Structure 1
Amino acid sequence: MKLDNSYAVIRVQMQKRLLAIVVAVFVALLYTTNIWNYIEKWTDIPRYVGTVVFVAIFFTFYLYHVIAASSFILYNDEEGKIIIRFYQLNMFNTSKNSFEIPKNEFEGFSLKASYMGIRKNLFLYRKYQGKTVKYPPVSLSNLPEPDIKKLLEALAIHGPFLK
């Protein structure tokens, strides 16, 4: 089975860019036109409060994706290996990772939610030189539920769900 979430990655990246443009245009209009004078007349909210609110909306959206560790994920188990490639969609962690586990060495997998259920991490386990090795987590937060279910079902064919 092959699975990737490139459609979701494109959607999230475009949302970030669009929101950044909207906030930048709003702040530019706020300080270069008299629009805020009319708004302030009706609401008694100072200009800097409007600026802070719109910038806070952008950073909240961006911070959500940092906390959720939204990632691009590619899964492939069609050959003799289980291959997972992924990278996070934030500018602070740009490392690209790839796990290739021979199917006969795959021990199982586990799923753990953290940050009040915002981040869902997949852990893979492999039998290597007589020991069970735990791989670093793969964030599934950017995958829709049906794709998570497909991924877990595909992994369950090769190894058990571990707690």
Structure 2
Amino acid sequence: MNISNKKQTVFLRRLFFLVCLVLALVALAMFLLDYMLYGLVMVGVFVLWYLFFQVADYHFIEYSDSGDKVVLRYYKSIRFGRTSFNSIEFPKRMLYRAYFENSIFGKMSDLTLVVKTRRGIAEYPSVSLSAVPLSDRKMLQERLLQILGV
């Protein structure tokens, strides 16, 4: 089974940068027209817009469990600067547990994968599933539970 949220991620990224551009241009126009208060308000709106996307923590996700391995590739979709690409890959039989943590009425969700190694239990860092559609999140959860044998 393969899951990818490329379309949603591209849409969110374009929306973010388009709104940032509009807010920055409006703020600049307000400052140039000597409307300092309105310019400062626009800068405040810009900061709130940026903080919302940082808190939402949207990630590009590509999940595959074809064959005998589970592969999860992800990276933060909205980021200024260099993007760090991450990948989680392990044999299916090593999966020990999968945690789905929902917050803000299920709108934001994190996935934490736990695997059993020779040395003990290892927990991968949480991956945000906020940009993944709810139907794909449920399919992912069902598939991981199926791999676990639950």
4+ residue segments displaced more than 4 Å: 114-119
TM-score (norm 2): 0.86
Which among 65, 90, 115 is matched to residue 53 of structure 2? 65
Amino acid of the structure 2 residue aligned with 1:149: K
User: What is residue 98 of structure 1 aligned with on the other side?
Assistant: 87
Which among 77, 85, 88 is matched to residue 65 of structure 2? 77
The Cα of 1:114 is off from its aligned counterpart by: 5.2
User: What is residue 133 of structure 1 aligned with on the other side?
Assistant: 122
Whole-Å Cα distance in 2 between the matches of residues 55 and 7 of structure 1? 29
1:151-162 alignment, distance < 5 Å:
151-159=140-148
Q: Secondary structure at the match of 2:15?
A: helix
Count of aligned pairs between the two proteins: 149
The Cα of 1:48 is off from its aligned counterpart by: 2.0
Task: Say whether 1:124 aligns with 2:90.
Answer: no
1:33-72 alignment, distance < 5 Å:
33=33, 47-72=35-60
- State the structure with more CA Rg: 1
Amino acid of the structure 2 residue aligned with 1:68: A
The Cα of 1:92 is off from its aligned counterpart by: 6.7
Change in CA separation of 1:116 and 1:61 when aligned onto 2, cut-off 3 Å: farther
Amino-acid identity (%): 28
RMSD over equivalenced CA pairs, Å: 2.4
Residue by residue, what CA displacement relative to the aligned partner does 1:6-46 show, whole Å, maximum 9, x if unpaired? 1111111111211122113212332445xx7xxxxxxxxxx
Whole-Å Cα distance in 2 between the matches of residues 143 and 94 of structure 1? 19
Change in CA separation of 1:91 and 1:29 when aligned onto 2, cut-off 3 Å: closer
Identify unmatched segments of 5+ residues in structure 2: none
Whole-Å Cα distance in 2 between the matches of residues 157 and 143 of structure 1? 20
